[in-house]
């Protein structure tokens, strides 16, 4: 999975049933080392070498799925090693792809500045949270992006 990075959380679903999660400690182009939390070790102990897995990763491009095999079962460092297989292609049903993001920005609305944080962005729009203001459809707003995150204000 080209989208995989260190510290990504993986949902691991063995073909023989059950599921557990883990964190990517390290990866190469052909394998991923996954650390299993202590409270989930009993579930991970049932996974053996060559078992088939469905793995869902929460990546910067959203949830990505891959089907792979176990290379090495649970070791004394609470890690398993799984195959780094290609992600399942996603048929895009949207006109524009959404990318996860978390940069802060401000909205100028009725001469008031409202602090916001992005959730995801695409060529067609931006999803965001604002703790202190709700907006209505068709409200005219001015979005202010900081040069701290972009090339200029």
User: Residue 90: its pLDDT value, please?
Assistant: 73
User: Residue 41: its pLDDT value, please?
Assistant: 93
CA-CA distance, 12 to 40, in Å (whole number)? Answer: 11
Cα–Cα distance list, 92 to 50, 63, 95 (Å): 32, 13, 8
Q: State which residues of the chain have pLDDT below 70.
A: 91-95, 132
User: Residue 93: its pLDDT value, please?
Assistant: 64
User: Residue 38: its pLDDT value, please?
Assistant: 94
- Could you tell me the maximum CA-CA distance found in the chain, to the nearest angstrom? 62
CA-CA distance, 54 to 15, in Å (whole number)? Answer: 7
Q: Which tokens sit at 56?
A: 């869902």
Q: Is the pTM of this model over 0.75?
A: no
Identify the bridge partners of residue 82 per DSSP, sorted by sequence position. Answer: 32, 70
User: Residue 91: its pLDDT value, please?
Assistant: 67
């Amino acid at each position: 999975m080209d989208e995989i990075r260190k510290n990504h959380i993986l949902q691991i679903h063995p073909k023989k049933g059950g599921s557990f999660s883990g964190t990517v400690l390290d990866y190469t182009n052909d394998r991923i080392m996954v650390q299993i939390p202590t409270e989930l070790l009993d579930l991970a102990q049932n996974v053996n070498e060559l078992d088939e897995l469905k793995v869902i990763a929460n990546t910067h491009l959203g949830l990505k799925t891959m089907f792979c095999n176990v290379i090495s079962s649970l070791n004394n460092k609470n890690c398993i090693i799984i195959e780094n297989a290609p992600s399942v292609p996603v048929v895009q049903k949207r006109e524009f792809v959404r990318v996860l993001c978390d940069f802060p920005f401000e909205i100028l609305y009725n001469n008031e500045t409202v602090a916001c944080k992005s959730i995801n962005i695409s060529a067609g729009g931006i999803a965001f949270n604002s703790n202190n203001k709700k907006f209505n459809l068709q409200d005219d707003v001015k979005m202010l992006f900081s040069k701290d995150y972009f090339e200029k204000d």
